[in-house]
Structure 1
């Protein structure tokens, strides 16, 4: 639980450019999903630390933690396949907050990164999407990332 709180606080600081109401909604959802996924995937403090520092997960549990988040937000199915519709639904709150940012996020995830996901393993596929996202996100996206 302690590491989920630290992760969420990091997310909120990163989201400083977004409205307070948006940040609170993100905080609530990430806390809820984070607690569930950390337990489900047996994530360790090391796994959370790597995600917070934008490092590629070194353990299967860290990769599976990303997969669990993706599944909870509808970005990825349990079969490991990514969902363009799921990305758009997960990012819908960003559209109301900043449509330009929303469009950049959708393009990055669906057009740039999803085609690079090759693994059929749910955890490896999630890690591939995450690595592409962090490698290709511009400064505006990096300031606003919370879900991915």
Structure 2
């Protein structure tokens, strides 16, 4: 697997205050509650640190019916993009996680959709990626918030 946060180009664009998926400027807020994951570094934003809150569409190109938009958080302060063969350790605590495979056309492959405990997330994503019709997998929280994209290594 190859697990990555959102692109650094997209992250820097949003940090500069350019418009989100709804055409609005990202909001700046203080993180609180300990569950504020940055979608660039895939780390948790410390309570009291400044985060950006915005609408995000994790698909390139023209919007289409399966190109979902949802809220995400980003570190306001610079961070490094996550790029690893493994999920971040804290993903084991996503209870539950929602995963879906997508084809090269960015359309959901319905038969791949699963709701799994965080501790089973890696194995479930690897299993979905064995299907040749699946180009990548999205991980979402139980609230439907985009967490990351997983590609084949």
* TM-score after normalising by structure 1: 0.33
More strand per residue: 1 or 2? 2
Larger gyration radius, structure 1 or structure 2: 2
More helix per residue: 1 or 2? 1
* TM-score after normalising by structure 2: 0.32
